[in-house]
Amino acid sequence: MIRECTTEILTRFSGKVPNTLEELVSLPGIGRKTANVVLGTAFGIPGITVDTHVLRVSQRLGLTDNQDPVKVEFDLMEIVPGSSG
C-alpha cells in the first residue's frame, strides 16, 4: 500500500504531498483520519482526527450521538473553534 501511495504522489502530484483533504484521501491507504493528521502536522491546517478514543469520549460528554467517525468529525467541527474539514 505504501508503494502505491508514493507512486501516486510522484505521478499525480509531482512528488509533493498534497495539502487538501480531498487529494489526500484519493491516495491509496489514506483515510480521513490519516489525512487530517498529515494536514495538521505537515501543513498546520487544523482538523478533527476521530479515533476510537475521540469517538467514545465525545459520546460520553454528549457532544455527539453518532457512531460513524466522519459524522462525529463534522459534529465536533461545529463546536471546536478553529477546526476545519
Which active-site residues does the annotation give?
33, 51
| Measured CA distances, 20 to 29, 52, 55 (Å) | 16, 24, 23
The x, y and z cell numbers of residue 3, run together, are: 508503494
31 Cβ neighbours under 8 A, 6+ residues apart: 25
